[in-house]
Amino acid sequence: MHRALYPGTFDPITLGHLDILNKAAHMFDEVILAVADYTGKDSNFNLEERLNLCNEATNGMPNVKVMSFSGLVVDFAQKMECNTMIRGLRAVSDFEYELSLALTNKKLKPQIETIFLVPSLKYMYLSSSMVRQLADLKAPLTDFVPPPVIRFYEQKIYPKA
């Protein structure tokens, strides 16, 4: 079985993430959407919320499994018997950061390869940070995130009075 790991914080999961995930799901027998416990930044969502939203968003993807991890992603990849890691690239600015991550991971676990996938053109600009800012300003989110994330924002973050 060819299994890949698609790690990230997914705070929140976006349509761009799902686009990359869908591409990976067509390339591999199984893809593990690995939700990082540690985000290294201010989060809108705790780990349980991010896991629930990712599970709901991937509900129709039979070869995708959502799991959380803590610690080094390469250790989790090895534990899950994944020799391939998926990363998304939107712009040249992403490449420098993602390349340094891939090289660091390669140094730590040489047997794990990183594959970079590019989202569809309509998602090239999209990021979780942008979604969080839009949500803070109560902007419409339909073009940016899947319905479970929209529902979460409507119910938990800015409920209607």
pLDDT, one tens digit per residue, over 26-68 is 999 999 999 999 877 778 899 999 999 999 999 999 999 999 9
14 near 135, Cβ under 8 Å? no
Structure tokens at 27: 């390339």
Residue 160 has pLDDT above 70, yes or no: no
| Residues marked as catalytic | 17, 41, 90, 128
71 near 103, Cβ under 8 Å? no
Domain count for the chain, please give it.
Answer: 1
For residue 54, which of 41, 67, 44 has the smallest C-alpha distance?
67
Scored b (16 or more CB within 10 A) or e, 126-137 reads bbbeebbebbee
Q: Which residue has the tokens 């968003």?
A: 57
- Which amino acid belongs to residue 69? F
Inter-CA distances, 2 with 24, 28, 60, 85, 117, Å: 11, 6, 20, 11, 17
pTM for the model? 0.93
pLDDT tier for residue 92 given thresholds of 50, 70 and 90? confident
Residue 161 has pLDDT above 50, yes or no: no
- CATH assignment of the domain containing 13: 3.40.50.620
pLDDT, one tens digit per residue, over 105-144 is 999 999 999 999 999 999 999 999 999 999 989 899 999 9
- Domain span at residue 67 reads 3-157
Scored b (16 or more CB within 10 A) or e, 60-90 reads ebeebebeebeeebbebbbebebebbbbbbb
Residue 25 has pLDDT above 90, yes or no: yes
**125 or 6: which leads in pLDDT:** 6
